[in-house]
Amino acid sequence: RYRLLLSKRVHGNLKISVISSDFVASDDYQSLMNAATSLAGKVPAGSRVRRGDPEKSNKESVVADFRGAFEWLLSEAERSISRQRYKGLGEMNPQQLWETTMDASTRRLLRVQIEDAIMADQVFTTLMGDEVDPRRAFIEKNALIARNLDI
């Protein structure tokens, strides 16, 4: 079996994506390839792409191909999205707390098994405690081997 590893740096962080031979053989991939083939050439060079209602919008761009049109529309859509990051639940307003954490219809509760209570307490104290130096040392030591980070 083969796999393709793609890596790039985003804001100084190494991002690695894996494309496996199983994915390339999947129905999803084949559907994407069929869509790409059918869309190729549908948007000729010099085409204009407009965002929103054509009678109201003056926001448009000249594009070279379908990919250019897609990327422009995606970047325009992202401008209307507000992304916020919180260090803790106490920074959220009640509506945000409900939408992200408290709504029983969308939240997930996971059981955490603690095999080594002493080690777990040490890690928790290091990461959540008031002392900055041990936390910084932990992060510096483990930054390059960490996996599944939500950054």
Contact by Cβ (8 Å): 78, 84: no
- pTM summary value: 0.44
| Residue 74 within a domain | yes
Number of structural domains the chain divides into: 3
Residue 147 belongs to a domain: no
Task: Dig out the tokens for 148 from the structure.
Answer: 């599944």
Give pLDDT tens digits for 81-98: 887 777 777 888 899 889
* Structure confidence by residue, pLDDT tens digits, 94-132: 998 898 888 889 888 888 788 888 988 998 899 889 999
Same domain, 111 and 137: yes
Q: Which domain, by its residues, includes 124?
A: 89-142
At 51 the three-state DSSP class reads: coil
CB atoms closer than 10 angstroms to residue 135: 15
